[in-house]
Structure 1
């Protein structure tokens, strides 16, 4: 005589959903709700009647897509986006190139003090961005920096806070110094996950360390390179703390140097939260489009390589 299968109590079936409730509530309250409110504000604007004096002279009205049209035709926002493009073209390749180089060097058998070197490269990432920007900002000042004198004596280009190339190099240097360690750890972890038998077979075939790195290691860590590139692009589009912190030290940085600085100025200085909300939505959509476009291109290229 077979027994009927015992049914689970309803409370056991609903336990996973009960554990999800706190995370869902936090997501809705602190992520989804602010985004929805920002989108709502982007479709509204303040209408001023007469001289704008007295009660009811300023009213919030529905603006439709007018704020988005103003944002897309705003030359300051466009110039900020172009500056970020130039900044990213310096920062992302240099940072990922150094991260890959350090990860490959730490993965070799002959390296010494591997633990200390890994920690020393990663440690700048643990320093807050504002603190790092202040530290480098004072090192860029000719009156207090010992490095500018040494670079000038050696005939090397000097980073500084002057408008143009030196300013881009100075800002990119802060990002590279702080972000290389994180990307290196991601790539190094992927390298350590590769089976050692692959390297042993390559050495038996007479491959050098350089050939192993170029033909085996780099192709196998390509997904990690894609991931670090994805994170670096998002971080580049969100540049705010470094130029904002360095602004009191130079006149070359305007209040709208980056798109997020423009959003901050319009929202908290000009007191136009509606225009700032529209600009923030446009930046978020542009970041989303670039991210998904890059991921789709990377996935399609990976599938072509596998086929």
Structure 2
């Protein structure tokens, strides 16, 4: 083959690659446009707003990182942040353990009516979030509903879901009720991908049910557990619907800065402090992304080991 032939083939290959690239962009292009409009543009605009302040004299002025300094020294922000961290540390492990236990029970051949129980556990996730909170708000109400009736029956205020010391537990119960089924489905799907050869080998080695669970099933759902943990962390830092809807029932307990998302929302729509609200949102986004990345990184290292 001559040099000219090689050069011609190389040019032909380059033209073919360029043609394939354009076809690929034709498929990816619509998604990239939508992604830029609904994600990148609002994110860029929020970042832009965070560098400005609305002044009484002079209108909007560029202030650099002043809003970030204010946020990092804001006791209300840190109180809200500490509250969602406490919520995350307590509620997420309980929810994931319950979801994993449900998935293991459904995967077990000993459970009769597994399909019925699978639908029953997943059903709360199908209930719209607002409807679920309103339903539980009626159950929790100390002046009406099931809690009030039960306390009247006992003749004392034994159950107080809206008390300051119990409000996080009450909200955690709602979130757990809603999302156990969702996480259960993630774990159950992962369990169904385990090769049957592993179970047969374990049976030949004389492994019992508990040994099979801890030596085969749980190690093989580690990836699903990492994903569920990341989703749960993100959901905890985004906590908004439950406390915001329950606030009229417990106005003295659930404040406007009960969670960072509620704080940003009320700063923006009630206090007209759009720039500072954008700053709070950016900070929470960065914190959530960093923690989720650390969890994913540690999960990946555990899988390699």
Give me the TM-score of the superposition, normalised by structure 1.
0.88
Give 1:150 deviation, angstroms: 5.8
Partner of 1:120: 120
Contact 2:223–2:303 (8 Å) recurs in 1: no
Contact 2:256–2:263 (8 Å) recurs in 1: yes
Partner of 2:4: none
Equivalences for 1:72-151 in 2 at 5 Å?
Answer: 72-146=72-146
- How far, CA to CA, are the matches of 2:116 and 2:148 in structure 1? 29
1:65-99 alpha-carbon deviations (Å, 9 max, x no partner): 00001111111100001111121122101110000
Q: Measured at CA, do residues 75 and 16 of structure 1 come closer, stay the same or move farther in structure 2, by a change above 3 Å?
A: same
2:59 is paired with a residue whose SS is strand
- How far, CA to CA, are the matches of 1:135 and 1:95 in structure 2? 20
Give 1:276 deviation, angstroms: 0.6
- How far, CA to CA, are the matches of 2:63 and 2:110 in structure 1? 65
Give 1:145 deviation, angstroms: 3.4
Contact 1:240–1:261 (8 Å) recurs in 2: yes
Unaligned runs of 5+ in 1: 50-57
Give 1:19 deviation, angstroms: 1.1
Partner of 2:23: 15
Aligned: 1:44 with 2:52: yes
Partner of 1:275: 276
1:21-73 alpha-carbon deviations (Å, 9 max, x no partner): 11111111111011001000000111222xxxxxxxx4111100000011111
Give 1:142 deviation, angstroms: 3.3
- How far, CA to CA, are the matches of 2:302 and 2:18 in structure 1? 47
Partner of 2:3: none
Partner of 1:229: 229
- How far, CA to CA, are the matches of 2:298 and 2:200 in structure 1? 33
Q: Measured at CA, do residues 271 and 13 of structure 1 come closer, stay the same or move farther in structure 2, by a change above 3 Å?
A: closer
Give 1:239 deviation, angstroms: 0.1
Give 1:131 deviation, angstroms: 1.1
Partner of 1:203: 203
Partner of 1:161: 162
Contact 2:47–2:282 (8 Å) recurs in 1: yes
Contact 2:138–2:146 (8 Å) recurs in 1: no
* Alignment size in residue pairs: 292
Contact 1:255–1:261 (8 Å) recurs in 2: yes
Contact 1:159–1:169 (8 Å) recurs in 2: no
Partner of 2:287: 286
Unaligned runs of 5+ in 2: 1-7
- How far, CA to CA, are the matches of 1:127 and 1:149 in structure 2? 25
1:64 is paired with a residue whose SS is coil
Give 1:183 deviation, angstroms: 0.6
Contact 2:222–2:303 (8 Å) recurs in 1: no
- How far, CA to CA, are the matches of 1:9 and 1:227 in structure 2? 36
1:111-132 alpha-carbon deviations (Å, 9 max, x no partner): 1112121111111112222111
Pick aligned residue for 1:30 from 15, 25, 38: 38
Partner of 2:182: 182
Give 1:135 deviation, angstroms: 0.5
Partner of 1:265: 266
Post-superposition, which runs of at least 4 consecutive aligned residues in structure 1 deviate over 6 A? Answer: 4-7
Give 1:12 deviation, angstroms: 5.5
Q: Measured at CA, do residues 9 and 301 of structure 1 come closer, stay the same or move farther in structure 2, by a change above 3 Å?
A: closer
